[in-house]
Structure 1
Amino acid sequence: MRIITGKDYEKFMDEGAIPFPECRKNREELVGFVKNLRGDETIITSSLELVDLIASNFKKGEDNVLIYSETGKSLTLKEVYELRKYLDFDVRGGFPKENARTTVLFVEGKTDSKFFKAVFKKLFEFRESRSSPGNLRFIERVFERDNFDLLKREDGVYLAIIPSEGNSGVIRNLGNFLRAMDVFGFNVHRIGVAVDIDEDEKSAIASIEGTLSRFDYEKTDYGYLVGETEVVPLFIGLPFRDELIDWKKPTVEDLMLHLLAKEGLLERIRPGLKALNENLGRKLKPKDVMYLALSAYGHWGNLEGFYELFVMRSRFRNLKAILREAKLMKGIAHLAWSEKVK
């Protein structure tokens, strides 16, 4: 299966390609069209929805590809499927040639996303943005689906924070994203990868360098340079020890626990922690603590909202102290294009 996108699709017309007129087609017609495909066709289309449906059905096999006609390069449909949540494959042709300072940060999940969103807003004066520069328009405008956060600072720096599916999802998205930049001919300046140190930092470094081995790269003071894009790792590993809490491995929750302790909320809820510990007959998981803290704080939203709210209302000195202790501040400031906070 081949999907042809981009403005130079005419060169594929003499290869038996099927031009798909997506105008005025509803979803049922698209689904019916995809169901009748054998898997050996070449389809020309500028329909993101059709691309998504075909990728979902033909994501297996290295021969199933999306070809960007303007560069002649391709992504496997498996890569297309994994990137579909936030990547607009430019099927309408042409990225605007803007060069705004841009950062993309991949994180493990939505709570991680809200934590880092609040950090960048509080320490580096970012705000939510509904508009994006040309070199960020690979991201679909799907704010209503809440797939990612797009921030902007007054000096024109943009930041997209994108949740993945665990550590492996962060590393996988890094590789797929670098491939997409090569295929579609766009560029972002910095990519952050926030990963938990599940075993040790050496293992985390090895997983990143293993992905980067598919590209030409060199080391920098902050991470790695792939073409014009700098990849900046953020290794999360600040253990939190407490007799009532069952700590197993480093996560963003540990950073939140440290912040709860510094802000004094952990001691306020300690009687509740002891009561729950006795009632359950076991040590508490970090998430148990978070839900108790959420209730005690008087926040009636979800956990992601609590992370963002608590970080935003925390004291500057406490937040900066934790990020410094976790050895994250240098990388975060670099991703924010800021020398203000060291």
Structure 2
Amino acid sequence: MRLVTGKRWEAFADEKSILFPEYRKNRDELIDFVDSLTGEETVITASLELIDLIAWKFRRGEENVLIYSDTGKSLTMKEVYELRKYLDFDVRGGFSGARSETSILFVEGKTDAKFFKAVFKKLFEFKERREAPYSLRFIERVFERDNFDLLKRGEDNYYLAVIPSEGNSGVTRNLGNFLRAMEVFDFRVDRIGAAIDIDEDRRSALASIAGKLSGFRHEKTSFGYRVGETEVIPLIIGLPFEDDTIEWKKPTVEDLMLHLIAREGLLDNIKPGLKTLNKSLGRKLKPKEVMYLALSAYGHWGNLEGFYELFVMRSRFRNLKAVLKEARLIEGLAYLAGRERER
């Protein structure tokens, strides 16, 4: 299966090609059309709905590709399917040659996203931004959903996007797919951060990112790696927390929050409640359970995502910076924020 999109589609058209008009077709007609395809066809279209249906059906097999006619480069249907499913990426293109002072940060989940969003706002003077400038049309298309956060620093037009990715594997998957998309659609961002939990050990976490980059020409830098004109910055999360009421097992962003609420004094305030629950349950509490107690004690009646963002924003600057420095994250975050180095 070959799916062709872009402005220069004529170069890929022949007597066997199917020129599929994107207008005046309802979903049932699109489904019937896709059901009739055998996989031997070349379909030319600018319909995202049709692209989604074809990508889902032909997402297996390296021979099934989407060709972006403006550059003549291609993505596998599996890559197209994942770019659409996880990033809402507009695989019709239309932003070739776009350059901008922009960073992307892939994180594991929504709570991680709100934590790091607040960090950039608190420490690096970013503010939320709904509309991306014309030069970042791909950002507008990628971040249509509310759970993608687009930030802008001051008046210097430096943009940063924080994207939740469904776990460690999701972070590395999105990293690889985004790098491929930059190759095919010919656009660039300055820096991409990949924030993942240590899990087994720091070396293994770094190896998972390096493994994803093995499919690209890359080189080592002081902060991570360079792929073409874009730097990739690994951010490895893991800061063990020791407390006789808390059962710490696996590094997550909750570790950072535990250290922060301890420095801010909130942990001491809820200690009596933790000990009572320990005794009642006959076990120590998991970090996320502690977070829910902290949320309640803090008087925040929303969800954990909102609590993380609110607490980080209201924490003392020096405490937040100290936690991130101890976790060996501060320099990478500062670099993603467009600064050369944070000491």
* Coarse TM-score class (shorter-chain normalised): over 0.9
Where does residue 75 of structure 1 map in the other structure? 75
Helix, strand or coil: the match of 1:14?
coil
Structure 1 residues 340, 14: CA separation in 2 closer, same or farther (over 3 Å shift)?
A: closer
Is 1:9 matched up with 2:9? yes
Where does residue 339 of structure 2 map in the other structure? 338
CA contact (8 A) 2:4 2:43 kept: yes
Matches within 5 A, 1:19-38: 19-38=19-38
Helix, strand or coil: the match of 1:338?
coil
Helix, strand or coil: the match of 2:246?
coil
Structure 1 distance, partners of 2:228, 2:88, is 20
Unaligned runs of 5+ in 1: none
Where does residue 145 of structure 1 map in the other structure? 145
How far is 1:199 from its partner? Answer: 1.3
Where does residue 285 of structure 1 map in the other structure? 286
Where does residue 215 of structure 1 map in the other structure? 216
CA contact (8 A) 1:98 1:133 kept: no
Q: Which amino acid aligns with 1:125?
A: E
Helix, strand or coil: the match of 1:145?
coil
Q: Which amino acid aligns with 1:320?
A: K
Residue deviations 1:141-160, cap 9 Å, x none? 47663241111122100111
Structure 1 residues 28, 126: CA separation in 2 closer, same or farther (over 3 Å shift)?
A: farther
Unaligned runs of 5+ in 2: none
Structure 2 distance, partners of 1:17, 1:113, is 43
Where does residue 314 of structure 1 map in the other structure? 315
Structure 1 residues 296, 106: CA separation in 2 closer, same or farther (over 3 Å shift)?
A: same
Helix, strand or coil: the match of 1:138?
helix
Where does residue 114 of structure 2 map in the other structure? 114
RMSD: 1.8
How far is 1:254 from its partner? Answer: 0.2
Is 1:187 matched up with 2:188? yes
TM-score, normalising length from structure 1? 0.94
How far is 1:40 from its partner? Answer: 2.5
Q: Which amino acid aligns with 1:179?
A: R
Where does residue 251 of structure 1 map in the other structure? 252
Residue deviations 1:178-219, cap 9 Å, x none? 111111111111000101111111111211111111111111
Residue deviations 1:80-124, cap 9 Å, x none? 111113253351x53164432000111111110000000001111
Structure 1 residues 226, 141: CA separation in 2 closer, same or farther (over 3 Å shift)?
A: closer
Residue deviations 1:36-87, cap 9 Å, x none? 3223222111122221222122211111111111111111111111111325
Residue-pair matches, total: 341
CA contact (8 A) 1:119 1:311 kept: yes
Structure 1 residues 226, 309: CA separation in 2 closer, same or farther (over 3 Å shift)?
A: same
Structure 1 residues 125, 15: CA separation in 2 closer, same or farther (over 3 Å shift)?
A: farther
CA contact (8 A) 1:86 1:140 kept: no
Structure 1 residues 175, 331: CA separation in 2 closer, same or farther (over 3 Å shift)?
A: same
Identical aligned residues as a percent:
72
CA contact (8 A) 1:253 1:286 kept: yes
